[in-house]
């Protein structure tokens, strides 16, 4: 049994791990049930690689005294909007709901970014925990799966970090640029509309709500204009309604998903653009972003044609648009002005930021998430780690984090760097399969992390402290892996040296 460390809510947590390599020669032998914090498994085929994460959802601890406190449920909603008496706005600070997330950074072990293989983010990135940017002039691949924003789309955000920023694409493509003039990425910036042309404007409804009655894949009919629970009742209290929504098979946890359909023909647009209906019904354009207010522009024409086809309401059908607006408004009034929508606005388009596909599931009986991230071994982007050496035995460094929501707080669990390769003796041992889209994960070696207890060491997992005289391992920092010392009974974190 070895020891690693997590940072949870700013506290460094001593934790135990086993490098479970599934040594049983019988591949049908199943790994032991998960009673750990996170299980990691990696499989690859001739062209692709899959990272499989399993973790138990934790009891929600905040906000204290709310109805969701102490419950288990998946975090697949993010930052809901509720009417505050004037407009739809975010829940008050300290009461907000958040999504579960899995994220990791990966680089080659030999000849990679200085310090990353030995000390991970603490050496390569963190400066007093104020940023995740690199301390050197390099680019580090960063995969980021979000339970409420990218998860329902079947994608993860393929970003990267350098010494200045988290790198994302900055282009604008149709139809995603109908939201704003450029900079496509996963976002959650929906704000209330304003104006007087219709009550949905003067009452401050958001621009995008669900398209009630629309049929999505899997024969799922969108049941309402607002967020609904498992029984299709409109949710008016997130702390009682959302914990009961544990079925992740329906694409109902994003407010709207735009995509370039020539890239992915799967129908995932499940929203109404109220701004389009307002324009058709009244001719008002003040509720639109600036680049769409010129009705003679190519952008406006593309936007108009898109929503005319999407909603089946032509640009000259003012009576039909007005009736739809009135129906939406009355549905909100019927909820006693307590209906909720999501703040999430998700984008899909064909770029190197969106080349990671994902699947997700949640087992209610065990309160357990299972998330799989898939990508080509080789990518043409210089932002992506080249994983084509995995079949030949190349070693890679993996630092991963799991964010499990706590209502108004997040458990943020970060590993020290671990070694990934196909060879025995690696922390995470990848296994070849015929097809990563049809993996029996019961036959794949596992790497488990076990949660033990917190220690008040929040200032220690940063380069400044690690390289100081206060750290007994400062002399071998970045040349010896952290877990060389921080393991078993000899761990500095168990002998009282750092208490």
State which of 68-77, 247-256, 316-325, 410-419 shows the largest mean pLDDT: 316-325
Separation of alpha carbons 318 and 306, rounded Å: 17
The CA distance from 345 to 270, in Å, is: 11
Contact 186, 146 (CB under 8 A): yes
How many angstroms separate the CA atoms of 248 and 73, rounded?
A: 11
Q: Take residue 252 and report the two structure tokens written for it.
A: 């109902």
> What is the average pLDDT value for the chain, to the nearest integer?
80
CB-based contact 34:54 (threshold 8 Å): yes
Omega into 371 within 30° of 0, i.e. cis? Answer: no
> Average of pLDDT values for 342-355?
75
User: Nearest 10 degrees: CA dihedral of 257, 263, 265, 267?
Assistant: 0
What pLDDT, on a 0 to 100 scale, did the predictor assign at position 176? 65
Helix (H, G, I), strand (E, B) or coil at 399: strand
* Alpha carbon 443 to chain centroid, angstroms: 27
Distance (Å, rounded) from C-alpha 395 to C-alpha 392? 9
Residue among 430, 354, 343 at smallest CA distance from 393: 430
> Which of the pair, 497 or 105, is modelled with greater confidence?
105
What does the DSSP 8-state code read for residue 350?
A: S
Cβ atoms within 10 Å, residue 241: 22
Q: Give the separation between CA 418 and CA 426, rounded to whole angstroms.
A: 8
pLDDT at 152 over 60: yes
| Protein fold of 2-57+100-167+360-490 | Immunoglobulin-like (2.60.40)
What radius of gyration do the chain's Cα atoms show?
24
Of 185, 176, 79, nearest to 142 by C-alpha is 185
pLDDT band at 448 (very low <50, low <70, confident <90, very high): confident
Q: Exposed, middle or buried by CB within 10 Å (0-12, 13-18, 19+), for 65? A: exposed
Residues 59-82 have a mean pLDDT of 84
Taking residues 161-167, report their average pLDDT: 87
CA 499 → CA 457, 469, 470, distances in Å? 8, 15, 12
What's the pLDDT at 13?
Answer: 34
- The 3 state secondary structure assigned to 189-218 is CCCECCCCCCHHHHCCCECEEECCCCEEHH
Sorted by where each begins, the domain ranges of the chain are 2-57+100-167+360-490, 176-347
The percent of residues above 90 in pLDDT, for the chain, comes to: 39
pLDDT in tens, 11-20: 333 333 333 3
pLDDT above 90 for 413: no
Whose CA is closest to 49, among 432, 363, 401, 415?
A: 432
**Which residue, 487, 454, 422, is CA-closest to 109?**
422
Query: What's the whole-model pTM score?
Result: 0.85
- From residue 91, give the alpha-carbon distance in Å to each of 51, 59, 99, 338, 382: 34, 21, 14, 12, 39
278 vs 180 pLDDT, higher one = 278
With cut-offs at 50, 70 and 90, classify the pLDDT of residue 386: very high
In this prediction, residues 309-319 reach a mean pLDDT of 96
What is the model's pLDDT at position 11? 31
Residue 188's pLDDT is 67
pLDDT at 454: 32
Find the mean pLDDT for residues 99-107: 91
Give the whole-angstrom CA distance, residue 294 versus residue 67.
47
Residue-wise pLDDT tens digits, 454-483: 333 456 667 777 788 888 888 887 777 776
Question: Bridge-partner residues for 13, per DSSP?
Answer: 6, 454
Could you tell me which residue, 345 or 98, shows the higher pLDDT?
A: 98
Residue predicted with more confidence, 258 or 399: 399
Residue whose structure tokens are 């329906």? 250
Which of the residue ranges 127-131, 141-145, 147-151 has the most confident prediction, judged by mean pLDDT? Answer: 141-145
Q: How many CA atoms lie within 13 A of 51 on its CB side?
A: 26
Phi, psi of 279 (to 5 degrees): -65, -45
């Amino acid at each position: 049994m070895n020891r690693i460390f997590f940072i949870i809510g700013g506290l460094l947590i001593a934790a135990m791990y086993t490098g479970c390599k599934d040594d049983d020669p019988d591949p049908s032998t199943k790994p032991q049930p998960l009673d750990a914090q996170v299980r990691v498994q990696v499989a690859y085929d001739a062209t692709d690689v899959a990272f499989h994460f399993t973790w138990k959802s934790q009891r929600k601890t905040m906000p204290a005294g709310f109805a969701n406190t102490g419950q288990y449920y998946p975090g697949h909603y993010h930052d809901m909007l509720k009417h505050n008496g004037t407009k739809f706005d975010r829940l008050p600070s300290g009461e907000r709901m958040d999504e579960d997330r899995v994220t990791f950074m990966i680089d080659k072990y030999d000849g990679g970014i200085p310090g990353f293989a030995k000390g991970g983010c603490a050496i390569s990135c963190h400066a007093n925990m104020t940023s995740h940017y690199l301390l050197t002039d390099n680019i580090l691949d960063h995969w980021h799966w979000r339970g409420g924003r990218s998860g329902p789309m079947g994608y993860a955000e393929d970003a990267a970090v350098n010494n200045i920023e988290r790198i994302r694409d900055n282009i604008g493509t149709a139809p995603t640029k109908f939201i704003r003039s450029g900079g496509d990425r996963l976002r959650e910036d929906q704000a209330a509309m304003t104006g007087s042309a219709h009550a949905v404007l003067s009452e401050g409804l958001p621009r995008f709500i669900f398209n009630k009655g629309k049929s999505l894949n899997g024969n799922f009919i969108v049941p309402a204009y607002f967020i609904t629970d498992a029984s299709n009742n409109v949710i008016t209290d997130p702390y009682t309604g959302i914990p009961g929504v544990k079925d992740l098979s329906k694409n109902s946890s994003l407010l709207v998903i735009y995509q370039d359909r020539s890239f992915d023909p799967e129908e995932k647009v499940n929203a109404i653009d109220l701004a389009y209906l307002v324009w058709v019904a009244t001719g008002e354009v003040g509720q639109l972003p600036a680049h769409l207010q010129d009705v003679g522009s190519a952008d406006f024409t593309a936007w108009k044609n898109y929503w005319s086809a999407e909603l089946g309401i032509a640009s000259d059908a003012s009576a039909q648009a007005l009736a739809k607006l009135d129906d939406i408004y009355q549905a909100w009034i019927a909820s006693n002005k307590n209906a909720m929508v999501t703040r999430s606005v998700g984008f899909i388009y064909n770029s190197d930021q969106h080349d990671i596909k994902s699947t997700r599931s949640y087992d209610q009986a065990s309160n357990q998430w299972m998330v799989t991230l898939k990508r080509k071994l080789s990518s043409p982007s210089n932002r992506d780690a080249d994983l084509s050496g995995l079949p030949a035995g190349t070693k890679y460094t993996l630092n991963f984090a799991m964010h499990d929501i706590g209502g108004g707080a997040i458990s943020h669990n970060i590993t020290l760097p671990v070694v990934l390769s196909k060879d025995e003796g690696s922390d995470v041992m990848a296994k070849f399969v015929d097809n990563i889209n049809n993996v029996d994960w019961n036959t794949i070696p596992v790497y488990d992390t076990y949660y033990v207890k917190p220690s008040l060491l929040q200032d220690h997992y940063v380069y400044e402290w690690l390289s100081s005289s206060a750290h007994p391992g400062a002399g071998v920092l970045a040349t010896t892996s952290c877990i060389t010392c921080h393991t078993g009974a000899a761990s500095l974190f168990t002998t009282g040296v750092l208490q």
